[in-house]
Amino acid sequence: MRITTRGRYALRASLALARMESEHGGPVSVSRLAVAEDISPVFLEQIFFKLRKAGIVSSSRGPGGGFSFSKSLDKLTVMEILDSSGEEIDLTFCDKHEANCERLGDCMSHYVIAEAQDLLKKYFSDITIASILEKFAGVKPVAI
């Protein structure tokens, strides 16, 4: 499994948006998020376009405009952000496809990897943005 830069940035920017939106009480511009997270504004626009298309964030134009969450942070999961940004949380199985594999019924490693993938997806589906903010409430945001 590999989470790409796009997925990591989508999560980082979402967490930054959640913090900034709660601190300032309104939408947050891409330029403010880009500076806060040291991410290209053009790349963030692309990420937030996907998040907006998925209904996770909404945008407003003009002075004081920017992005804000459309969903409650206690319902919004890390998995939803990763999915919406185009990440696939899939572990790499062997090079055989299930339809072509003569050993599938006897291949224990396939079942181990499949179970690990299910656990990983459940883990990301159980973590909400609100729970992350609560867990790290006293931690100063630092760009990675």
pTM of the model: 0.83
Residues 138, 139, 144: CA angle, nearest 5 degrees: 165
Note whether 83 and 131 are within 8 A (CB). Answer: no
Max CA distance (Å), the chain = 62
Question: What does the pLDDT read at residue 63?
Answer: 81
Q: Are 40 and 30 in contact (CB under 8 A)?
A: no
Q: Are 51 and 81 in contact (CB under 8 A)?
A: yes
Looking at residue 81, what is its pLDDT? 96
Are 124 and 77 contacting, i.e. CB atoms less than 8 angstroms apart? yes
In the predicted model, residues of the chain with pLDDT beneath 50 are 143-144
Q: In whole angstroms, give the CA distance from residue 45 to residue 30.
A: 7
Give residue-wise pLDDT tens across range 71-106: 899 999 999 999 999 888 777 666 655 566 666 667
- Domains (range + CATH), the chain: 5-89+128-135 (1.10.10.10)
